[in-house]
Structures are given as C-alpha cells and as structure tokens.
A and B are shown apart, each in its own frame.
Chain A
Amino acid sequence: MSQTDRRLLLLSPDDNVLVVRAPIGAGEPIRVEGLELPLNNAVSMGHKLARRAILAGEPVVKYGAVIGTASADIPQGAHVHTHNVRSNYTATHTLEEARAAYEIANEVGKT
C-alpha cells in the first residue's frame, strides 16, 4: 500500500513538500508518509502540503530545489504557502488582504 495519498504528488526524492493533484476538502483525511492526518483547510490543485514537519528557517524543497524559506513552523500535512514560506529573492505579492476586505464589505461568500 502506498505511503502517500494518490491525490498528492512527490516530484523529487529530496522534496519536503507534496503537490496537490486533485482538490481536497477541509477536514478530509489525507495520508502523508504513512500517517493519516486531517486537513485543516481546503486546498486546490497545484498547492502544496508538508511531507514532513518543517521548522521555521528551514529551506522548502520542491523539484529537488529550494523554493524559499519557512517563515513559521509547518506541521506535517499542513498547507505550505505564502503564510508560512518566504522567497529568498523578492517578496511575494498577493491580493489576499484586498479580497478578504472586499468579501467582508460586500458579504460575498468565498467561491
């Protein structure tokens, strides 16, 4: 039996993240490296989950290459993204805050 969920893809043996190849809903159980874990928030295709615990300051590795540095401790199976990883080159710009403020002001449900 596979140690890791079919919905998760390991790109390179040294990676400490797995790529989500099909959307996974919040609360759904996922299997990462033999461990059954609950997923706290929904993740869509192309996002990343921690293959193992990653400590703040550790490099985040995908494609066998460093894609940034953990800016917070990341538990195994957790969503790895802009809230817990920073670039080693230029900071990442997102519209997360603007979208959240807009959705609150306009009472828009998240799609």
Chain B
Amino acid sequence: MKQLSGFLRSDGRKGIRNRVAVAYLVECAHHVAREIAWPNRAEAHVIGFPGCFPNQYAQGMMERLCTHPNVGAVLLVSLGCESFNRFQLESVIRESGRPVETLVIQRSGGTAATIAKGQAWIDARLEELATAKRVPMDVSELVVGTVCGGSDGTSGISGNPAAGRAFDRLVEAGAACIFEETGELIGCEEIMAERAVTPELADILRASVAKAARYYATLGYGSFAAGNADGGLTTIEEKSLGAYAKSGQSQISGLIKPGDIPPKGGLYLMDVVPDGEVRFGFPNISDNAEIVEMMASGAHMTLFVTGRGSVVGSALAPVIKIAANPEMYERLSADMDVNAGRIIKGEASVDQVGQEIYDLVLNVAAGEKSCSEAMGHAEFILTYKSFEPIGPACLPA
C-alpha cells in the first residue's frame, strides 16, 4: 500500500491535492473567472455562487470550500455590485493562512484587464504551490463522501453495496464517511434509525427523512429522474433502498448538514434538505450540488455510483466513478474507475469490488488521478438554501 501524504493546513486538516480555487461571487463574474483559470485548468478550478441576493447558506458554503483541505490558494472574482459578502469571505481565507486576492472587475479595468491580472496571480501562486511540502497522512485523516447518480435497477445490487463495503473498511480504519440525500432515503427511515449510536440520534434520522418526504411532496416531484425509470426503477422508495446500500453496515455516528465537519471518524448522514417552509426550489438540482456539499463538509473525494452512466467529476476534490451496470460499463469504460457490473455478471463478489474501491481510495489519496479528474471534469454548482444549525444530539460524544 502506498504511504499517504498530504498538505498540512493551519486547522490541522490535510489535503490530498493543492489546488487554486478561482471563485466568482455572482454569475456576472463567471466568464472572467473561467477565462482566468483556463490556461491552468488542471490546477486552478472555478467555483462560485451565481446569485445576487445574499444567502447565509451560500456564504457559509463558499467559506468552507475556499478553506477546503485540497485548496492551497484562492482568487476571488467579484463584479463589484453583487450582495455577496466578499469582505468576510476574504478574511476567513486569509485567517486560514492561504494566499488570497480579490479582483473587482468594475475597478480592475473590465474583462480583459481583470483576466490578465488574475492569470498573472495564478501563475505566481502555482509556482509557490509546486514547492509545497507534503507530510505523512493516515487513512483515519480521510473524509470520503458517497453519492449516486443516474441510478438504475443495477445500482442497488452491485455498485451501491460495493461502495458500502468500502465505506465499512474506511470506517474501521478510522476515516470519516458521509452518505446523503435524505430525499433518496425515503422508505428506509426505520431500518436506518436502527443503526444510530443513540436513541436520540435515531429520532433525528427518522425526522430528517420525514422532512425530505414533506419537502418533495410539496414540490410535486421526488428525487427521481426519467432515466431512473428507463433503467427499471419504479418508485422513489425502490430507488432509496438501492441508494441506502451505499452506507454499508457501520453504526451511524451522527447527522450533519452541509458545511458541518465530522468531528471524528465514523459514518455520518448528511441532511441536505433545507429547514423551514419550502423555499428556493429543489434541494439539490443535480448530482454536483451533492458533491459540492460533501466537499463543504471536508470530503477529500467522493465515490459516485452510476447505473445509467454519469460522466461528471468535480472541482477541487476527485470523484471516483463506480459503474453499476455492466452494459453501461462497456459503452463508457473510459469514464469509469471501477466496474461493479461484474457482480451482476457473476464475475466478482461484492466483497472483491468493495476491496477494489477501498484500494483505489488510497491510491487517489496518494495522488493517482481518477478518470474524471484526468479528463478535466471540474463541474460545480451552488444554489440557494436555508438551514437551522444542528443540535448537540446530532453528534453524540
């Protein structure tokens, strides 16, 4: 096994990458940010928030993402008149010890001049980051998320249980693992609650799924895309039971919300459905919104199980793609890191594929690029939400 090493940050966390984040603070600055990052797009990733109205959730998410352990420097790109609190964001990043600069397009001479300034800043930072020292890192210092997307009837019997086995191994080794989408756990609330470390947490887990069921019922659609049905999934509860298998068998140590960092190793459920009345639309409008929330809670990488064949990656933190469906694997093999479809064909056991995923997690942590990462996928999306803070019973000692 490769010895892991990471980039030590001032908060004690370690990164498995040393990226520059180029963050636009309103959609109006998106093009300029993209142009700034483009020549160095393998190392400089664009993230941002498109809205011009202020939002506490988005502010918190951007603060977490800009101080993510995989981020070594941050360039903020502001149009100048948006409501985003760039002053606070810049202060948080500066206090974390990272190099940070804010370019305001309206005061920097417009598009071309801002792009030139930004590119020069990035070039200088990349030169510094290239000499950054790595320190030894243990598996127990990893935070790994899991999502599924483009699910079909194979996901729940191959890719998701195999990802669950890998999660069991990681939790055993002391890592923090996060699973999510309470809207895709509808129908699993009782069996999931039995795995909570305390009765109080069990109630909280049940309540989080009930909240999701109410929320989606109000919106009129479940977390269920047309392609899920093409792939043989009939109802949201069927999709949920398959998705639930990603969580493995470990006890559930706590419930977190996007941006909460797991306080220690263990398995955590992320509650992604906003609190309060239904506002701002669907909780997570596409798969990358979930990956972004995993990163905001410190995930170094995300395991992504897909049946229909999602090709996305992510800015800042690698995505490991696990193909559940062997027919899809044949069509999209260059996009897939792991072929869990072999389980359906009877060519591998769930344990064997779980072991393969676990080994790959360590290799990617050690610097090996995942398929989506090597192909330059760096998707990112962040939209409006609102949450109440979690209570003490969500994270039992």
Contacts and interface: CB of A to CB of B under 8 A. Distances in A.
A68 B237 contact: yes
Nearest to A79: B232
A80 B222 CA distance: 20
Contact of A94 (B157, B226, B327): B226
Given A44-B232, A82-B229, A62 B186 contact: no
Given A81-B229, A87-B237, A65 B187 contact: yes
Nearest to B223: A90
B156 interface: yes
A67 B237 contact: yes
A90 B236 contact: yes
B236 A66 contact: no
Contacts of A82: 229, 234
Interface centre among B153, B307, B326, B345 (most CB of A within 10 A): B153
Contacts of B155: 46
Main secondary structure of the interface of A (DSSP, over half): loop
| Contact-residue size bin, chain B (C-beta under 8 Å from the other chain) | 35 or more
Nearest to B245: A63
B344 A87 contact: no
A81 B234 CA distance: 5
Contact of A90 (B152, B156, B222): B222
Given A93-B226, A95-B226, A19 B157 contact: yes
B241 A65 contact: yes
Interface stretch (B17-25, B213-221, B353-361, B384-392): B213-221
Contacts of A91: 222
Given A47-B153, A62-B241, A93-B224, A67 B234 contact: yes
A32 interface: no
Pairs of residues from A and B, 10 with the lowest C-beta to C-beta distance, nearest first: A46-B153, A46-B232, A47-B232, A67-B238, A87-B235, A90-B222, A95-B226, A68-B235, A94-B229, A46-B154
B232 A45 contact: yes
A67 B234 CA distance: 8
Interface string A21-62: 101000000000000000000011111100000000000101
A45 B234 contact: no
Given A21-B344, A89-B217, A92-B224, A67 B235 contact: yes
A8 interface: no
A78 interface: no
Contacts of B326: 45
Interface of A: 9, 11, 19-21, 23, 43-48, 60, 62-63, 65-68, 80-82, 85-96
Interface string B226-244: 1001111111111001100
B306 interface: no
Contacts of A92: 222, 224, 229, 234-236
A108 B228 CA distance: 22
A9 B222 contact: no
Given A46-B325, A90-B216, A68 B238 contact: yes
Given A46-B231, A93-B224, 9 more contacts: A45-B152, A45-B327, A63-B242, A65-B237, A66-B187, A80-B234, A89-B216, A92-B235, A95-B230
Contacts of A85: 234-235
A9 B344 CA distance: 9
Contacts of A60: 234
Nearest to A90: B222
